[in-house]
Structures are given as C-alpha cells and as structure tokens.
Structure 1
Amino acid sequence: MTDCASPARRRLLVQSAALLPLVALAGCATPLGSYGVEEGVRRLLTLSSQRAFARLTEPGGFYDDQLTRLVLPETGGNDVLGAVLRTNAVRGRVAQALNDVAVDAADRATPVVLDSIRSLTLTDALAVLRGGPTAATDLLQRQVGGALVETMFPEFSAGLRSDTLEILTAIAGARTGIDYAALARTGAEQAGQAIFRAIGREEAAIRADPRSTRDPTLIALLSGASLVR
C-alpha cells in the first residue's frame, strides 16, 4: 500500500508516537494516541479556562484579586476634571467601575476562548506538552488575544459611559473631557491580559497536581508530559 501521508504529517505522527509510551493511561496498557494527546490538551485548556472564568465572573472577580485587578491609567491635564481624576478617592471609584465592567465583559469573552480551544491541532498539542507550566495558555493568548480585546471593547465602551459618567458628573460637574474610547480600549486590553493570567494560573495548578482533576486522560497526559523536555 502506498503511503499517501505528507512529509509534514509523517513527522507529526513520528513525534506523537514518541510520546505514546509516556502518556499511557494509569493502570492501562492502551496509550492515548495522537487524538488522545490533542484531546488531552484541549481538556487542560478547557478546564483551566472554566475555572478562571468561574472566578472572574463572580462579583468582584477582577478587583478582588491582585493578579487580575484592572488599574485606572494616569490622567493628564490641569483642568478641574483632570485634577479630580488624580485624587485617590475618585480614582478608586472609577477603578471599581472599570473592574465591574470587566466582569460583564468576561461573559462575552468565554465563548471566544472556548471556540479557539476546539481548533487546537496536534502540532499545537505537542508544543504545549514540551512547554512550561503555562505553555497552553501562552499559545491560546497568541491565537485569540486580539480577538478577545475586540469582543470585550463594546461592553467596556457602553459600561464606562454610564458608570464613570455618573460618578464624575456627581463629583466634578463635568460632562466632557473624558476620552471614553481610549479608556474602554485600555480596559479591554487590561481585561484580556488579566483573563490569560487567570487561565495560566489554573493551568499551572493542574499541571502541578493533575490527579486532583480526577480526569484519567489529563492524569496520563500530564504525568507523561513531565518527562518530555
């Protein structure tokens, strides 16, 4: 029979085969196979993402965690509004509003992340297995980070216009002078980075203790991957 597989595909199969003895299911002689390696990495990222989003979408999910808290950017200008925005009390209230909007924006981000996970390939999976404690998250961020920001931007744009405007007009009596688009863009970018930090933290925890997941595929995959460097 003629081997019709492309050279690139054959290389992938050879690389995958090298991992099979290391990712056999615990107590079972049947290895995961190339599909199992892909599926295992998808499970790793899916579980990491689900855990991260479960935390982030709770009230105070961003603000209450130093790892994910969004920070209000410095505001220039010598006008009254600029001076007010530089006071700790007002900055704190606006920062809280920014983080509250991020909770709602994270809901928009969830399906974007999960859809991207489903598109992972064997090449991606093999690279992740040989990477560090957040290798899967780093790959995900490279693939979908920009799309995530664009997905969350409308939520920040709408949410900040209502929340911060109410705060600032009550204190400063001003309705102009705020670059809402820039603030919304900053919020969306910070939220995107915070989301991947949260996913990375969960991934590292799973890699450190795969048995805690009680998932045989993850246990087999990650116990074997720890030997592949």
Structure 2
Amino acid sequence: MTHSYDRRTALAGLGATGLVAISPSPAMAQGLNLGSILGRATDSALDRLAQPGAFYNDEDVRIGLPMLGNLGSGGSSGGFLGRALGAASRLGGLPGIDDIIRGINDAAGEAAGLAKPIFRDAINGLSFGDAPGIIREDDGGTQYLRRSSNDRLSAEFNPLVDTALTKAGLHDRIDGLASKNSLLRDAGLNRENINASVTEQGLDGIFSYIGAEERNFRKNPLRGLGNLLRN
C-alpha cells in the first residue's frame, strides 16, 4: 500500500513539473514532455559523438573535406579538394588526405563535446505549443529544433570548430599544403570555408544522432526514471 501511494505521489509530482503528462493524450504515452525528451536526446547524442573516433568511424556522419563549389566531378570523399590533396601527397611527399580527414573528424568530436550549453539554450528558447504537429513525428522535436535554431546553432558551433581545428594544427597543415600546390591555391581554400564546411557537416551528424535518440526516448519515455517509479 505504501509503495502504491508513493508511486502515485511521485507521478503526480512529476506531472506538476511537466515531466509527466497526466492526461489521456499522446504525451502520456511518451511519459516525458517533448522538451525534456529533446534535451536528454541532445545530451546523449553529443556525448556519443564526443567519443574518440565517433565521427570518423560512422560512415553516415563522417565529415569530408569541403567540396568548394562545383569544382571537379569525381565521386571520392572530399571532391576536388580530396583529389588535389591526393595529388599533392604523391608529388611532394605531403601528408595524405586520410590523415587530414581523421583530424577534422576528431576536431568535430571535440567541438561536439563542448556544445551542450548552446543546444540546451536553443531548446529552452523553443515554444513547442507553436507546432503541435511535431508531437506526432517520431523525431518531430529534432526537426523543429533544426528548423527553428539551425542558424543560431551554426553561428555558435562554428567558433568551437575553429578552436578545435586550430588546436589540432589542421588549419596550418592545410595552409601548408596550399602554399605548395597550385590547385589548392586556385580553389580559394581558406579558414572560413573550411570552418563553414566542417560546421555544416558536423551539425548534420549531430542532428542525425539527436533524431535517433529522440525516437528511442519516445519508445521508452520513462528510461532513467525507473528507480524513482520502483520506490
């Protein structure tokens, strides 16, 4: 009897805070409200991508080198820039493209590990009542976050990417390659477009992982509350 009372009391308290919807609605089936689900999904996604090698080892989110517009027409990773770097490596004994791509992906992972506050701020600024249809989509919160906050997140994630690339010495390495290879110089490769490309691709990967986490939380909305509900 005591356990039943405590469980009802806990659920009522969670309902008062908005963590559990005590009403016969889709939100009750989810258990947690969408803001809570999205926040937890984002934290989990960023933690996963911050692990060493996470970006590079997952081909679905692996970051390639900038395409630099429509220059070149090959299908290899990195497009024109990838082929130019490959040629530079063969001709001048310079570092290979794979090593640089690994470094870029590691830098993106380091940036992801620092990005929780900017994603949390973006989520806290959302008004989910403005888009009631998102409750019906398995990754509706993720889609809404990207539509509503992508520009802001890009602007705030870009400096984290720049810092990580600089710390890893990747800007200097690519500048060094460009100074020795006319293809890279003519392509106009610079810090700004490298940062922009890595930022865009990094966010693509992050949102892909957030969407997967949101779908998992919706299927098992009380994950993480099990100990409380068993008391």
Name the CA shift for 1:80/1:112 in 2 (closer, same or farther; >3 Å). Answer: closer
Q: Does residue 55 in structure 1 map to residue 48 in structure 2?
A: yes
Aligned length: 184
Aligned positions of 1:51-200 closer than 5 A: 51-73=44-66, 74=78, 76=80, 83-84=87-88, 90-124=96-130, 126-130=132-136, 132-161=137-166, 162-166=169-173, 169=176, 174=180, 177=185, 178-200=189-211
Task: Judge conservation of contact 2:85–2:96 (CA < 8 Å) in 1.
Answer: no
What is the alpha-carbon distance in structure 1 between the residues aligned to residue 90 and residue 145 of structure 2?
36
Paired AA for residue 67 in structure 1? D
Note the C-alpha offset of 1:209: 2.9
Note the C-alpha offset of 1:52: 0.3
What is the alpha-carbon distance in structure 1 between the residues aligned to residue 79 and residue 171 of structure 2?
14
Q: Does residue 209 in structure 1 map to residue 220 in structure 2?
A: yes
Note the C-alpha offset of 1:152: 2.2
Note the C-alpha offset of 1:55: 0.3
What is the alpha-carbon distance in structure 2 between the residues aligned to residue 179 and residue 104 of structure 1?
21
What is the alpha-carbon distance in structure 2 between the residues aligned to residue 69 and residue 208 of structure 1?
27
Paired AA for residue 183 in structure 1? I
What is the alpha-carbon distance in structure 1 between the residues aligned to residue 139 and residue 125 of structure 2?
18
Name the CA shift for 1:202/1:85 in 2 (closer, same or farther; >3 Å). Answer: farther
1:46 equivalent in structure 2: 39
RMSD: 3.6
Paired AA for residue 39 in structure 2? T
Paired AA for residue 166 in structure 1? R
Task: Judge conservation of contact 1:94–1:164 (CA < 8 Å) in 2.
Answer: no
Paired AA for residue 190 in structure 1? Q
TM-score for the superposition, normalised by structure 2: 0.65
What is the alpha-carbon distance in structure 1 between the residues aligned to residue 130 and residue 226 of structure 2?
21
Task: List 4+ stretches of structure 1 deviating above 4 A.
Answer: 23-26, 79-82
What is the alpha-carbon distance in structure 2 between the residues aligned to residue 101 and residue 86 of structure 1?
25
Task: Judge conservation of contact 1:102–1:191 (CA < 8 Å) in 2.
Answer: yes
Structure 1 residues 132-163: Cα deviation after superposition (integer angstroms, max 9, x where no partner): 21110000111111122211222333443522
Structure 1 residues 1-32: Cα deviation after superposition (integer angstroms, max 9, x where no partner): xxxxxxxxxxxxxxxxxx93225868xxxxx9
Task: Report percent identity of matched pairs.
Answer: 27
Farther off after superposition, 146-155 or 195-204: 146-155
TM-score for the superposition, normalised by structure 1: 0.65
What is the alpha-carbon distance in structure 2 between the residues aligned to residue 86 and residue 191 of structure 1?
29
Name the CA shift for 1:134/1:147 in 2 (closer, same or farther; >3 Å). Answer: same
Paired AA for residue 225 in structure 2? R
Paired AA for residue 98 in structure 1? I
Note the C-alpha offset of 1:104: 2.2
What is the alpha-carbon distance in structure 2 between the residues aligned to residue 189 and residue 153 of structure 1?
9
What is the alpha-carbon distance in structure 2 between the residues aligned to residue 180 and residue 90 of structure 1?
19
Q: Which runs of 5+ in 2 are unaligned?
A: 1-21, 67-77
